[in-house]
A and B are shown apart, each in its own frame.
Chain A
């Protein structure tokens, strides 16, 4: 009695195991078909979503480029306007002060002549300085525009290449629509981004722009110092006559 029960139990367990294994295998076959279909749908969804995202950022990038050019042009116009105002104002103040000098009582003819000579020389020195400063500024702006144009072309080319690579990768994955296609898609997108990053790194112009500005500033400083030297000389010459 006890022995029969054990045999029945073993048989029952074996049958139950066979049933479980059989059911699991059938279930696994059904899930495989479902995954393939799901991946196809998911790739299609990712394609539309990411294509839209890339298109949007491409548009934002182009707008950003245009805005920066506008900002630089606006800043340059502002600089020109301020510089012109400064020059007009100091020229008027200078003329007024020179006129006051000449109106002092008791000045000799030699002293009046010396004041006129001083004023003429100072204005000439200032004109020379302004020409040098304007030239330095113009040279800087031309070089800056060329640098920015080349930089933006480089970035635009790299971003466009990334956009084309990602679009092609999604199209390929959608056509394949297999589980392996997702892996290939990921790798292609990653490689395309790395290429874009590489171009961004190699085309950085921050240091170039800084060097251009340094060159401009050095030229302006030299022009200012040359003017200061001339102004000191002309002032000393006038003093020698004026203070007697």
Chain B
């Protein structure tokens, strides 16, 4: 017996290629068709919006008209005050006297009169306070000059 023939060749593991799955093409689903909107629906929505806006505007106009008619005097007074209460750089209200009602003008004048008491008094005080003492100097100098004039050597 040929020893060599007894040798059984090792069985080689042969990696078989993986069987590729067979892809069966699926039938394409039918493309869904967008349902077309009925033209009647959007027309209804826009109209509602327009109507709503119109109603709101009318209500606003009505409210304004109501306050204007029923509270005219108060609003006028308020507007006068607000119009005249612009503030200057020191946040002091600036009153526009020309926009005041007669009653407001009267009140304004009464306040001015109170303030004027102090300002007038100050002017009077200042007039008295601002003395002029420069006449002193002239007089003293003349008195000293008389000492020198008490002798006239031209008459010697």
Q: Spell out A's residues near B (CB within 8 Å).
A: 42, 46, 50, 53-54, 56-58, 60-61, 64-65, 68, 71-72, 75-76, 79, 82-83, 86-87, 89-90, 93-94, 97-98, 101, 122, 126, 129, 133, 137, 144, 148, 151-152, 155-156, 158-159, 162-163, 166, 182, 185-186, 189-190, 192-193, 196-197, 200, 203-206, 208-210, 213, 216-217, 220-221, 224, 227-228, 231-240, 242-244
Contact = CB atoms under 8 A, between A and B. Distances in A.
A85 to B, nearest CB: 9
Given A57-B150, A186-B156, A97 B117 contact: yes
Contacts of B3: none
Contacts of B146: 57, 60-61
A231 B118 contact: yes
Interface residues of B, number: 54
Interface string B92-112: 111100001000100110111
Interface of B: 77, 81, 84-85, 90, 92-95, 100, 104, 107-108, 110-115, 117-126, 128-134, 136-141, 143-151, 153-154, 156
A57 B93 contact: no
The 3 closest A-B pairs by CB, nearest first: A90-B121, A64-B143, A155-B144
Contacts of B151: 50, 53-54, 166, 189, 193
A75 to B, nearest CB: 6
Q: Is the interface of A mostly helix, strand, loop or mixed?
A: helix
A83 B128 contact: yes
